[in-house]
A and B are shown apart, each in its own frame.
Chain A
Amino acid sequence: MSMNKQISRFDLTERAIHWMSAISFVYAALTGLALWSHKLYWLASVFGGGPTVRGMHPWGGVLFAVSLGFMFRRWARVMQLDSDDKVWMKNSHLYAMHRDQELPETGRFNAGQKMMFWMQSAFAVLLFASGLVLWFPEIAPRSARLLAVLVHPLAAIGSIGGIILHIYMGTAVVPGALRAMTRGTVSQGWAASHHPKWFRELSKH
């Protein structure tokens, strides 16, 4: 059997959800960062000026929250951590050093990807809740606003940090991964090497 044959990894729905959240996230992150530091205020001009950024950022955030809602519904089940994942997490430095063979075999998603999913979901909830408070300063009580000005940037820092790692992994470290998210397919060899448990299950059918 040729290992170059393409198999489906993400269907159209999954790819649509992924890119909707990616685009809305980048928009929300860049417009948010514009207001985070005077040194980054030039970003506001890029996105149509300060008042536009102030008006549109929350809507970008809402779009992001909605797409993550869809993603959550779709993937919450497969993202459950099992006992292999716990061993994997404890030895994740081996993955960083490309000694994947010494780690438990992974299914459709590895433990790192699962953690990314749960972390970003949690950050999204925090961003949405604190974002709502910042959106309506005349309505929200002052104590909530004083908390939100900490929670919102902290959650943004966490999620943007996570996304830097996510993009680096998906584009540079794992060749072939990006194609899974653009065209939806991977080669059998890719599946067998990066997600062997998932590949065996697929081959059974």
Chain B
Amino acid sequence: MTTTVAKLVDTSLCIGCKACELACQEWNDQEFTLGTFDGTYQTLPDLEHNFWNLIKFNEFERDGQMSWLMAKYQCMHCADPGCLRACPAPGAIIQRPNGIVDFVHDNCIGCGYCITGCPFDVPRLSPKTKKVYKCSLCSDRTSVGMAPACIKTCPTNCLTFGARDELLRKADSRAEQLRGNGDQDAGVYNPEGVGGTNVIYVLRDAKNPESYGLPKDPGIPWTLSLWKGPVKWLGSMVFLGGILGAFLHFVRYGPKDHGDEHE
């Protein structure tokens, strides 16, 4: 069995150097587009179709001084991916045996359903190719045993890559260490609502993932579950039942009088 891989983001070690952003752009051969300058240290306000890895510089105040909570933002590679559930094109979104959720652009039709299905608001539609893009966890690198570009380049060991079980253990012990150092609320972010993620965070304040720009209780939206479950059954019942009902009605009652026989 292939082991499930994961990326661990230890936010307490991020220095905001953005090397991972650049490594991602380089390896994935993204064209450079000038973004919005909004007076913050953040490269762009949000992810883009050609910008898959964003360090969010969440500003907050401590002891009257401005400070940052930095958190890397990209596809979480959910165990139960909402994007995959929503996708209508077979083979356009796949979950590899090692857990990576990958977009296969040859099969993508550009409907954008995955954008609606994703609880983390990650996939982006390219106006040029009319296809969606996001972090692939460098599946082209990991398939030949190399670490993803962002992880390879991280200078502080904030990012590590490896077997998911091991990284979860590592995350737990690191959170414990942080709690021992006085961060009472330190903990691991691995949200249950999407079956856990293959991108795992250690947060110094795990009670407030929002302050890092991460959703608090992400999950599969209930309208998505209804849409892909009961609504489909209802449709099959109406379509097949309608045709069968019409057939049975005709066998029992046949057509009405034409009217010409009435004189």
Known: A36-B235, A96-B253, A147-B223. A164 touches B111 (CB 8 A): no
Q: Chain A, 28-61, contact with B by CB distance < 8 Å: what is the 0/1 string?
A: 0000001111100100100000110111000000
Q: Does B258 contact A (CB under 8 A)?
A: yes
Q: From A186, which residue of chain B is reached at the shortest CB distance?
A: B259
Q: Chain B, 230-261, contact with A by CB distance < 8 Å: what is the 0/1 string?
A: 01101100110011001001100101111111
- Chain A neighbourhood of B256, CB < 8 A: 98, 100, 173-175, 194
The listed residue (A146, A157, A189) touching B116 by CB distance below 8 A is: A146
**Complex Cα spacing A142 to B38, Å:** 24
Q: Does B17 contact A (CB under 8 A)?
A: no
Q: From A4, which residue of chain B is reached at the shortest CB distance?
A: B260
Q: A172 contacts B246, CB within 8 Å? A: yes
**Complex Cα spacing A187 to B263, Å:** 12
Q: A50 contacts B259, CB within 8 Å? A: no
**Complex Cα spacing A53 to B88, Å:** 12
The listed residue (B121, B221, B258) touching A189 by CB distance below 8 A is: B258
- Chain B neighbourhood of A4, CB < 8 A: 260
Q: A149 contacts B112, CB within 8 Å? A: no
Q: B115 contacts A174, CB within 8 Å? A: no
**Complex Cα spacing A164 to B249, Å:** 13
Q: Chain B, 204-243, contact with A by CB distance < 8 Å: what is the 0/1 string?
A: 0000000000000000010110110001101100110011
Q: From A1, which residue of chain B is reached at the shortest CB distance?
A: B263
**In angstroms, how far is the closest chain B Cβ from the Cβ of A157?**
5
Q: A41 contacts B231, CB within 8 Å? A: no
Q: Does B113 contact A (CB under 8 A)?
A: yes
Q: Would you list which residues of chain A between 155 and 182 have a CB under 8 Å from chain B?
A: 156-158, 160-161, 164-165, 168, 172-176
The listed residue (B112, B234, B250) touching A172 by CB distance below 8 A is: B250
Q: B224 contacts A146, CB within 8 Å? A: yes
Main secondary structure of the interface of A (DSSP, over half): helix
**Complex Cα spacing A145 to B86, Å:** 12
- Chain B neighbourhood of A150, CB < 8 A: 223, 226-227, 231
Q: From B239, which residue of chain A is reached at the shortest CB distance?
A: A160
Q: Would you list which residues of chain A between 52 and 83 have a CB under 8 Å from chain B?
A: 53-55
Q: B125 contacts A138, CB within 8 Å? A: yes
Q: A189 contacts B262, CB within 8 Å? A: yes
The listed residue (A36, A38, A50, A154) touching B109 by CB distance below 8 A is: A50
Number of A residues, CB within 8 Å of B: 49
Q: A173 contacts B109, CB within 8 Å? A: no
Q: A157 contacts B226, CB within 8 Å? A: no
**In angstroms, how far is the closest chain A Cβ from the Cβ of B100?**
21
- Chain A neighbourhood of B107, CB < 8 A: 50
**Complex Cα spacing A41 to B89, Å:** 7
- Chain A neighbourhood of B148, CB < 8 A: none
Q: B255 contacts A173, CB within 8 Å? A: yes
Q: From B231, which residue of chain A is reached at the shortest CB distance?
A: A153
Q: Does B90 contact A (CB under 8 A)?
A: yes
**In angstroms, how far is the closest chain A Cβ from the Cβ of B237?**
9
Q: From A176, which residue of chain B is reached at the shortest CB distance?
A: B258
Q: Does B110 contact A (CB under 8 A)?
A: yes
- Chain B neighbourhood of A157, CB < 8 A: 231, 234-235, 238-239
B-binding residues in A (CB < 8 A): 3-4, 34-38, 41, 44, 50-51, 53-55, 96-98, 100, 134, 137-138, 142, 145-147, 149-150, 153-154, 156-158, 160-161, 164-165, 168, 172-176, 187, 189-194
Known: A150-B227, A190-B260; 14 extra A-B contacts, CB below 8 A, are A50-B108, A96-B253, A134-B111, A137-B112, A137-B125, A138-B125, A154-B234, A157-B239, A165-B246, A189-B258, A189-B260, A189-B262, A192-B259, A194-B256
A-binding residues in B (CB < 8 A): 86, 88-90, 107-113, 115-116, 121, 125, 130, 221, 223-224, 226-227, 231-232, 234-235, 238-239, 242-243, 246, 249-250, 253, 255-263
